[in-house]
Chain A
Amino acid sequence: MTADKQKLEAKWSAYKETQKRENRKYLLLSAAGILTVLTLWQAVVMMGLVDSKLLPPPTVVLQTLMDKIYSTVPDGNTLGTNIIASLKVALSGFFVAIIIGVPLGLLMGWWTYADRFIRPIFELVRPVPPIAWIPLVVVWMGVGLKAKALIIFFTAFVPCVINSYTGIKLTSQVLIDVSRTFGAPNWLIFWKIGIPSSLPMVFAGIRVALGNSWSTLVAAEMLAASAGLGYMIQIGRTVARPDIVIVGMVVIGAIGAILSSILSRCEKYFLRWKVNR
């Protein structure tokens, strides 16, 4: 028995070794993909196929990126200040949407009374595009952080509610019955069965919400801002600096990817029990 176990463990670690090697190989492939695109871009500009005033080559973009770390030209902020300003707006809207949206969806999905009470209002508000709220929001709260965060909130709120609602509706009846025969009251079943079983869908919703928040950022920062990546892009456009615009886009893309990978880690931790058999 123990000898078998040792053998199994040896095999397992050998398997993990090969997996690691495979992963390294794929990582190399991904890097090569990005490099290819950059090379093509550089070549297209250098060969004069595209005007470098309209599309600066990657080398120039990289140079601008480096400069922007210290320089406040042309938008009046360093890159760091812009990133922090944008993160503040996007994340505050995003987190408030999770804190309100997820419990709301869960309650609606579990208790029919909550569903019947809230659902009509929600269904009426849901189809209104978040951008359409901008004029009202400006009238209500001006153009500060709160106003911008509220716009982000509207885009992130809807997927949080819908996914939590659907997720908890899909709770397996057998697991509810198991708890009921053990004599568990409804709120305990909600807590012990409903919430954990809805988590995969909730996380899918949060992922959509994160994507929405980050991509609505530029729109939100069109509401008169004095800092932020969207603001930086706007200024880059007015002063005809496509390199600044592209730096803004690249940074938005990169931070989006980082946020998404942080979310993946959280998801992996909370859903560590989820194994495909």
Chain B
Amino acid sequence: MPDNENRPVKVEVKNLTKRFGDLLVLDDMSFNIRKGEFVCVVGPTGCGKSTFLNCLTRIHMPSAGDIYIDGVPANPRKHNISFVFQEPSALPWQTVEQNISYGLKIKKVPQDEINRRVNQILDLMGLQESRKAYPGELSVSAEQRIIIGRSFAMQPDLLLMDEPYGQMDVKMRFYLEDEVIRLWKELGSTVIFITHNIEEAVYLAEKVLILTNKPAKIKEEVYIDLPRPRDITSPEFIHYRNYITDKIKWW
């Protein structure tokens, strides 16, 4: 059993169900995520991956069941949750540094702590030189780096990423995947990363949750026990990839 089984439970999902009218999207899902764990959720397109995240952040309320963070029902006002959305979501009217401090200001973090964290993130993301620039003046990938930096700056209890690299080309994706791993290791956050890209999931995750087709249920939890940095051409890597692909194919 991998070592993450020894860590305390951070997020507890109990019988989570979501209906939109007659449409059942999430069907009685239960699982745990441990502190500091990097979990990837994969599943067929349109299976309800995004709905699942939206229930976690209370953008949607679950129809039944609930999600507990540290034993308390999830609540963005109380918990420190960060979300990296699929679409670019930097505030265009704020500079890079204002964007990174945006969530910290909402949480009323003291100013000197904000300055310290913003500087740390600017260094880690290589954005120090463009800290006064507006997102629109930078490239699309730099904008995505701002958003990822903004999320990690929160030092969140829970970091949710919804196909953040869906729109990127392969080179940029590889680069940003490594960035996320680096930040995750440096800051020890708990991450739930949603993707339909199985290779990406195997490259990033400690644990992969495979969802079924709609209505989504947990089909299987797979622990990826590979050393980092991972080699996407190694036989073990390919074995994991094929295994998960098969699981998604046969529902």
Contacts and interface: CB of A to CB of B under 8 A. Distances in A.
Contacts of B87: 174
A277 B76 contact: no
Contacts of A276: 136
A197 B134 contact: no
Contact of B59 (A177, A196, A277): A177
A57 B135 CA distance: 53
B249 interface: no
Interface residues of B, number: 28
Contact of A181 (B81, B93, B94, B134): B81
Given A179-B106, A180-B76, A174 B136 contact: no
A107 to B, nearest CB: 20
A181 B136 contact: no
Contacts of A188: 106
Which of A181, A192, A274, A276 gathers the greatest number of chain B CB atoms within 10 Å? A181
Interface in A172-186: 172, 174-175, 177-184
Contacts of B59: 177, 180-181
B189 interface: no
Contacts, number: 66
A182 B91 contact: no
B93 A197 contact: yes
Contacts of A192: 91, 102
Given A174-B89, A177-B59, A275-B134, A182 B103 contact: yes
A273 interface: yes
Interface in A183-203: 183-184, 188, 192-193, 196-197, 199
Interface of A: 172, 174-175, 177-184, 188, 192-193, 196-197, 199, 272-277
Closest 3 CB pairs of A and B: A275-B136, A182-B103, A273-B134
14 contacts: A174-B89, A175-B89, A177-B85, A181-B160, A182-B76, A182-B82, A182-B106, A182-B154, A183-B106, A188-B106, A193-B91, A199-B93, A276-B136, A277-B136
